[in-house]
Amino acid sequence: MNPVENQTIVVRDLSNAEFLARYAQPGRVGLSGGETLVDQAIRRAERHLHPKAEWGRWSHAFVFQGQRVDGQHWLIESDLQFHHKHLRLGVQENRVSKYHDEGYYTALAVLDFGLSESQVTQLLGEALELVATRTQYSVTELFGTLIALRLGKLREKENLLARDRSLFCSAFVQHLFRKAGVDLAPGVTIKNTTPEDLSRCSLPHTTWLLVREAAPSPLEKATAKVKRHVGARLRYVRRKVASR
């Protein structure tokens, strides 16, 4: 059934694994946010989409494929994947369990646009075609999108650094949905689409949102320690002055 309006359901009491097991279904969109340098760079660049220049929440997007004969839930994404000195760069299939790590993926969302069965089939068929033809993840195009974010008027134009047979994560998702007759970011070209654009889609849909506070970074821990030390010294000085 197609959603009749936008609805966001906040989920607070599930692990990443439980959340994805409950809400990941074929044709739904997944969004993730994290605290790595790459995640932070993307989220920082998305501040240009916010009237108060607040950072975006999302740094990656993918599409759920469904459960397969191995009993596992799978997804399709365009990503940079490092594994035991092996690099996979481009459109690929991965188990949903990739996103079970709560320390690495601190925020998750699942978006349901109420696609028909035929639309889901068309969308996933196109995704598998891109897997088979080894469509690449283009870091160059990502930089083109960052430029377009800074110069907003370029968002509706072709990516300045566009390459053939290349799609980064959110451009990949937007491409699939347009193939299925759904435009998730009207007025924005496919290769300038960000994960934040997908999360703000105005089309009727349901969003299940799971958010956790990220663990303090080493810098944040060090800063807090310095503040505690300085605060203790100030209190000591005040006591010494008051006792005179």
- Cα 8 from chain centroid? 16
Largest CA distance in the chain: 83
Query: Do the beta carbons of residue 73 and residue 96 sit within 8 Å?
Result: yes
What per-residue confidence (pLDDT) applies to 231?
Answer: 67
Model confidence pLDDT, tens digit, residues 103-157: 889 999 999 999 999 999 999 999 999 999 999 998 899 899 989 999 888 999 9
pLDDT digits (tens, 9 = 90+) for 180-200: 999 999 999 999 999 999 999
Q: Which two tokens stand for residue 211?
A: 């958010």
Q: Sorting pLDDT into bands at 50, 70 and 90, what band is 35? A: confident
Convert 27-64 to b/e letters by CB count within 10 Å (16 or more is b): bbbbbbbbbeeebeebbebbebbeeeeebbbbbbbbbb
CB contact at 8 A, 115 and 63 = no
- Provide the 10 A C-beta neighbour count for residue 220: 11
Looking at residue 142, the DSSP 8-state letter turns out to be H
**CA separation (Å) from 85 to 66, 77, 81?**
29, 20, 10
Domains of the chain, residue spans: 7-213, 215-244
pLDDT value at position 235?
72
pLDDT of residue 236: 59
Q: If you average pLDDT over every residue of the chain, what do you get? A: 89
What class has domain 7-213? alpha beta
pTM given for the model: 0.83
